Amino acid sequence: MGDRRRLGHGARHRAVHGASASGARRTPCPVAVIRRLLPALLVAISACSNAVPEAEPFLGVWASQGWGIILHVHEGDADVYETSATHCLRASSGSARNIDDFVTLDGARLVLTDGGRVVYFVALPDLPAACSTTLDASPQAVLGAVVTAVEEHFHPGVDPEWAGRVAALTPPPAGDDAALLAAITELLTPLRDPAIALQPGAGPIWAPSPGGAGSALAAALRAGTLLPGATIAGAGGIVAFDLGGGVQYLGLLRLGGSADSSSGSQRVIAAALDQTLRHASGLILDLRAATTGAEVDALLVATRFVTARTVVATIEGRVDDGGGRIHAGEAVVNPMPTGPFPGRVVVLIGPGTAGPAELLALALAPLTNVVILGEPTAGSPRSPLVRTLPNGWVLGVPNTEVTVDGVPRVGNPLIPDETAVLTVEDVAAGRDPGLEAALAVIGS
């Protein structure tokens, strides 16, 4: 994780100016699209007039079912708030122009859809008073916001020692960011989910280690100590190498963040993938170091291999009170018009395969020309819900269940067809047993 996009800010932009369901297309204003809170929620900030007739059916205050979001549509503007039992924070604000491209009414509920994600909202009589108060940004308030975010949203729920760790929390002095970071990471690490993440200001993103040798593998590939001469692209996230005999290697060290925008990242990944497949009779797709990324990028990769429209997974979001889950959409892959890659594919997985990369592995696993090789995945094939803390830090809390073919996959790793263990010692010695085993499978 190297930037805010991979914690949920800009990781999966989709232009909100697609064809309108209402018929004739309005001329769009210049916009800067800001993605906040969850993959589906887009707010277009514009310098256009406040006269926005398409927003009129949605005027009012709307609270999401799950997700901890309030949408306030008023006088042509749309404000988005992150809300919890401890605070309410306005996360973004702008024009409601073209809001009907991704928001509809279903009876008394407002429904937001985008990129396969679905979020339901119910009407509130007024904006909660907490949304108009000044935030307390003290260390105690920040710790309280972290605790509340996890308790309200984390799926499958906290570990048995959580209450004890919360009781033992001691807020550090104001201004001691290092101590505050240490307190939060000590609280979160035992949850053992690599989709949890924290970005402290402009610093690097922290996430619990998924274990295994994924981080060492990524460093060695970037440094050229493994596969010297490989092409490194996508801001260090894509590694391509010709293994000879028509066999190509493509290592995805993350799914997303390959360019300054989501659309740019998708173009970079698509170009690298198509360039690799153009020269390949067999492919080794390495996902062992891909812990982070964007679902849209993962599903883009899968389009090159499926033969028909495929519902990879159904998604459910946790309801805030912990009383259940609510439908949140589907992960769908559509095939390429040119048809799928016809060669043999070996997908390398391991404990570092999490988030969208794990979803990609699940999408490819049923295909007849694909062999899954390596070690069990992390068991967390989802991206986190983004929460902004009172001091401006950003927390990622995974709040969804992902079900594939009727089987819940959170906490349920994908087991490889064939086992090949990679250790830190292997990487240090310049060895890659997984790659060697993959070459043997491709050649068999």
Q: Is the sign of the CA dihedral 29, 69, 103, 295 positive or negative?
A: positive
For residue 52, the model assigns a pLDDT of 83
For residue 7, the model assigns a pLDDT of 44
Structural contact between residues 440 and 434, judged by C-beta atoms closer than 8 angstroms: no
Q: Residue 79: how many CB atoms within 10 A of its CB?
A: 19
Structural contact between residues 71 and 62, judged by C-beta atoms closer than 8 angstroms: yes
For residue 114, the model assigns a pLDDT of 80
Successive 10-residue mean pLDDT values, the chain, 444 residues: 37 29 33 33 42 90 96 94 94 91 96 90 97 95 97 95 98 97 97 94 85 92 97 97 98 93 94 96 98 93 98 93 84 97 98 97 98 98 94 96 97 98 97 98 89
Question: Across-strand partners of 123?
Answer: 62
Question: Across-strand partners of 104?
Answer: 111
Task: Identify the helix (H) or strand (E) that includes residue 60.
Answer: strand 60-64
End-to-end CA separation in angstroms for the chain:
36
Structural contact between residues 413 and 379, judged by C-beta atoms closer than 8 angstroms: yes
For residue 321, the model assigns a pLDDT of 61
| Dist CA 297 CA 287 (whole Å) | 13
On the question of a cis peptide bond just before residue 156, with omega within 30 degrees of 0, the verdict is: yes
For residue 115, the model assigns a pLDDT of 75
CA 234 vs. chain centroid, Å, equals 17
Select from 388, 385, 397, 355 the least CA-distant residue to 188.
Answer: 397
Structural contact between residues 238 and 215, judged by C-beta atoms closer than 8 angstroms: no
| Dist CA 124 CA 63 (whole Å) | 7
Per DSSP, the residues of 424-438 read HHHHHTT--HHHHHH
For residue 210, the model assigns a pLDDT of 80
Per DSSP, the residues of 83-106 read E-SS-EEEEEEEE-TTGGGTEEEE
pLDDT of 258-276, one tens digit each?
Answer: 999 989 999 999 999 999 9
- Supply the pTM of this predicted model: 0.87
Domains in the chain (CATH in brackets) are: 4-19+26-132 (no CATH), 214-443 (3.90.226.10)
Q: Which tokens belong to 180?
A: 């505050």
For residue 408, the model assigns a pLDDT of 97
**Integer CA distances (angstroms), 414 to 181, 349, 358, 376, 398, in order:** 32, 9, 8, 6, 18
